[in-house]
């Protein structure tokens, strides 16, 4: 292929559910399709500049995957309840931005099971299915419970994670060390363990607020990986401004090179030039 190049401030890669998943590198200036099938050489050159993805301010350090410190301290999308939705304080009148909360949090969410490095539980908005699962590198996933608000999704997730993790073992995920599972059987076993606590939540918040999906439908996700790494060496643009290698695969938000891996989402807001060539 001819050399292809794109410069700008990085965003997380875009994904399209195909077999395998189709990826594009995304910048604030445009996009760059990227396909490991041809195993192209790739070069990422970081200029040393980071721009806040909210206000555009130049910052020496990125917080919460792309924000400057002032935005990190005041924006609702950087509040502690984003990582722990069961701690939502909207009803207490202390939301950092109630209008933002109404738009993003006071709407239906799904609790799901995914298999990225074994069974894990997570939450997402409906319009992030299946993007959320592709971003996590899950080879299987399915929504199991629909709730009316983000806080409720956090409360349900907290019940489930007493029995399954909410974390991905990212190194095992990248190495391909994950078995295909019977996701419906996994859910049946888990639901029997939590049925009573879910029923208690229904009694507190109302039957209409929590809907257990009667016949969840798992989807299978195939990623464009030509070769999984046997050892995982992770690149950090703050320490290594230039990353080069042959692209062997993409999984989740990671580029897998013959020289190591890099989590593109971690460097959101970093000004980078990407060059692809034969």
Burial of 195 (0-12, 13-18, 19+ CB in 10 A): exposed
- Bridge partner residues of 7 (DSSP): 273
CA dihedral 97, 99, 100, 105 (to 10 degrees): 110
For 117, counting Cβ atoms within 10 Å of its Cβ (0-12 exposed, 13-18 middle, 19+ buried), the class is buried
Cis peptide leading into residue 20 (ω within 30°): yes
Beta bridge partners of 65: none
SS3 content of the chain, % helix, strand, coil (to 5): 30, 35, 35
163 vs 156: CA distance, rounded Å: 12
For residue 258, name the pLDDT band (cuts at 50, 70, 90): very high
Report which of 105, 89, 36 is spatially closest to residue 25, judged by C-alpha positions. 36
> Distance (Å, rounded) from C-alpha 262 to C-alpha 266?
9
State percent of the chain over pLDDT 90.
Answer: 98
Q: Mind listing the pLDDT tens digit for each residue in 130-156? A: 999 999 999 999 999 999 999 999 999
Contact present, 40 and 246 (Cβ < 8 Å): yes
- Separation between Cα atoms, residue 15 and residue 122, nearest integer Å: 19
E strands along 168-236, which residues? 210-212, 219-220
Query: What pTM was estimated for this model as a whole?
Result: 0.95
Is residue 3 scored above 90 in pLDDT? no
What pLDDT, on a 0 to 100 scale, did the predictor assign at position 22?
98
Please identify which residue in the block is written with the tokens 């798992």: 218
Rounded mean pLDDT, 36-47 = 96
Alpha helices in the chain (DSSP H): 69-74, 80-83, 98-104, 131-135, 150-160, 170-175, 183-205
Q: What is the pLDDT of residue 2?
A: 67
* Mean pLDDT value of segment 65-73: 97
pLDDT in tens, 192-251: 999 999 999 999 999 999 999 999 999 999 999 999 999 999 999 999 999 999 999 999
Do residues 255 and 177 touch, judged by C-beta distance below 8 A? no
- Enumerate residues 6+ apart whose C-beta is below 8 A from 183: 113, 115, 119, 140, 141, 142, 216, 218
- Mean pLDDT, the chain, rounded, equals 97
Determine the Cα–Cα distance for residues 157 and 121; give it in Å rounded to an integer: 7
Collapsing DSSP to helix, strand or coil, 205 comes out as helix
Q: What is the pLDDT of residue 1?
A: 58
Rounded distance, CA 18 to CA 153, Å? Answer: 28
Place 278 in a pLDDT band, splitting at 50, 70 and 90: confident
Q: State the DSSP string of 2-28.
A: --EEEEEEEEEEEEE-SSS-EEEEEET
Q: What per-residue confidence (pLDDT) applies to 159? A: 98
| Per-residue model confidence as pLDDT tens digits over 82-120 | 999 999 999 999 999 999 999 999 999 999 999 999 999
Segment 5-13 mean pLDDT: 97
């Amino acid at each position: 292929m001819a050399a292809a190049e794109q410069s700008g401030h990085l965003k997380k890669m875009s994904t399209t559910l195909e077999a395998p998943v189709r990826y594009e590198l995304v910048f604030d200036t445009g996009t760059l399709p990227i396909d490991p099938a041809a195993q192209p050489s790739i070069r990422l050159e970081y200029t040393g500049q980071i721009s806040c993805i909210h206000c555009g301010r130049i910052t020496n350090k990125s917080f919460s995957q792309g924000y400057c410190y002032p935005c990190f301290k005041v924006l609702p999308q950087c509040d502690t309840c984003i990582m722990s939705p069961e701690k939502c304080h909207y009803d207490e009148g202390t939301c950092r931005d109630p209008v933002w909360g109404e738009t993003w949090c006071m709407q239906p969410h799904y609790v799901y099971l995914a298999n990225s490095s074994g069974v894990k539980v997570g939450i997402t908005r409906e319009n992030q299915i299946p993007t959320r699962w592709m971003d996590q590198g899950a080879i299987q996933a399915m929504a199991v419970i629909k709730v009316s608000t983000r806080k409720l999704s956090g409360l349900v997730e907290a019940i489930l994670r007493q029995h399954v993790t909410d974390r991905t073992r990212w190194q095992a995920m990248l190495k391909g060390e994950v078995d295909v599972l019977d996701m419906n059987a996994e859910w049946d076993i888990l639901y029997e363990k939590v049925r009573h606590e879910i029923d208690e939540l229904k009694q507190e918040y109302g039957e209409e607020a929590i809907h257990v999906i009667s016949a969840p439908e798992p989807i299978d996700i195939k990623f464009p990986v030509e070769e999984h790494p046997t050892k995982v060496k992770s690149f950090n643009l703050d320490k290594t401004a230039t990353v080069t290698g042959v692209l062997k695969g993409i999984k989740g938000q990671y580029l897998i090179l013959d020289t190591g891996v890099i989590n593109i989402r971690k460097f959101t807001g970093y000004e980078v030039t990407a060059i692809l060539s034969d």
